[in-house]
Amino acid sequence: MIKTVDLTKKYGDTFAIRAIDLDLGEGDLFGFIGPNGAGKTTTMRIIATLLVPSWGEAYVCGHSVHTQPKEIRRLVGYMPDFFGVYDDMTVVEYLEFFAAAYRIGGAARRKLVDEMLDIVDLDFKRDAFANTLSRGQTQRLGLARTLLHDPQVLLLDEPLSGLDPRARIEMRNLLRRLGQMGKTIIVSSHILPELADICNKVGIIDKGELKVNATVTEVLKRVREHVVLVIQPAAADELPKVAELLQRHEKVQTIETADAAIRVVLKVDVSDYSDLPRLLIENGINLRGFGEEALDLESAFMALTKGTSGRM
């Protein structure tokens, strides 16, 4: 659906982006992470055919940004980080105006506007003036406008920026629903934990260069060479016995005990630890919890960009 090859934009001697390679398929929800000025907006504007690259190529559904921009615009919905609304239009009038711009008329237009208001949960504001909406409601109205022509690709620049916690949750749930509808989505943000929840792929960009481009699972694994287990026996007095049993195991590198649990670091390249819970159970240990220690996307970001992203 979206593919870029050596995509580069240069202003004088300064690179806004340099050699960006992306490959996103149908239904991918790609989190584009980076500080202000890193190149997120430049990349998205090129894909949306609003900016011409200095060199390199970008394709949307097989169409080139160089030779087929009109075809791409029919397929793409682009939502900038900030956009204006018309003061003298209600929410319904605002959406009907843009639907008319897409040459959707009559009963079809009214039905479409009703569907969009339902998708973004703004039907209760349909007769309110657009300029009276909250920041979160305005973002949802902008997303409804972006969806009017049923684009296959969505480019959403900082849609979570400036939202209160409730509005962020609502927008996140909405983005997840759109991904489930099979749309390919690029969403940029500074809010790293939010993206870990909704995206299946993530790119970390800094100073115009794509430092990381992988699935969320792969990103998390790259910052941890060892599998780390957290084991909670049913009884706290069994902690010493658990530690003794595991300390001698060939797959275990180190053990730490804290807060009624044991943190076990396995040796490098050990990924199969299915024999460990069996060992404990066979020795009479009842387990309340056994699993890998969670690593969040924010920690991964800081580890992978250490020394390069001082602006965060």
Range(s) of the chain covered by CATH 3.40.50.300 = 2-85+133-215
pLDDT at 166 over 60: yes
- 104-150 tens-digit pLDDT: 988 999 999 999 999 999 999 999 999 999 988 999 999 999 999 99
| pLDDT confidence of residue 193 | 67
* Confidence band of 302 (pLDDT split at 50, 70, 90): low
pLDDT of residue 273: 93
More confident residue, 114 or 161: 114
Q: What sections of 130-263 are H helices per DSSP?
A: 135-147, 165-180, 192-198, 216-222, 239-247
Of 48, 40, 50, 1, the closest CA to residue 17 belongs to 40
- DSSP β-ladder status, 261-266 and 252-258: antiparallel
pLDDT score for 309? 43
The pLDDT of residue 27 is above 70 = yes
- Count the alpha carbons within 13 Å of 177 in the hemisphere toward its beta carbon: 12
**What is the arrangement of strands in the sheet containing 252-258, beginning at the earlier edge strand?**
252-258, 261-266, 228-233, 287-292
The pLDDT of residue 297 is 66
Quick one: average pLDDT of 261-288?
91
So what's the pLDDT on residue 167? 82
**Angle between helix 106-119 and 135-147 (nearest 10):** 140
Rounded to two decimals, the pTM is: 0.76
pLDDT of 308: 47
Alpha carbon 300 to its chain centroid, in Å, reads: 14
Report the mean per-residue pLDDT for the chain.
88
Q: Which fold has domain 228-292?
A: Alpha-Beta Plaits (3.30.70)
Q: Residue 83's pLDDT band (boundaries 50, 70, 90)? A: confident
- Using the predicted structure, report yes or no on whether residue 296 has a pLDDT greater than 80: no
- Give residue-wise pLDDT tens across range 53-62: 999 999 999 9
pLDDT the model gives residue 16? 96
- Rounded to whole angstroms, how far apart are CA atoms 260 and 300? 27
Q: What is the pLDDT of residue 24?
A: 95
- 70 pLDDT more than 80: yes
User: Which residues of the chain does CATH 3.30.70.100 include?
Assistant: 228-292
Domain at 2-85+133-215: CATH architecture: 3-Layer(aba) Sandwich (3.40)
Q: How far is CA 22 from CA 28, 30, 184, 213, in A?
A: 12, 10, 13, 8
As a whole-number percent, the residues of the chain with pLDDT over 70 amount to: 91
* Predicted confidence (pLDDT) per residue in 29-53, tens digit: 999 988 888 999 999 999 999 999 9
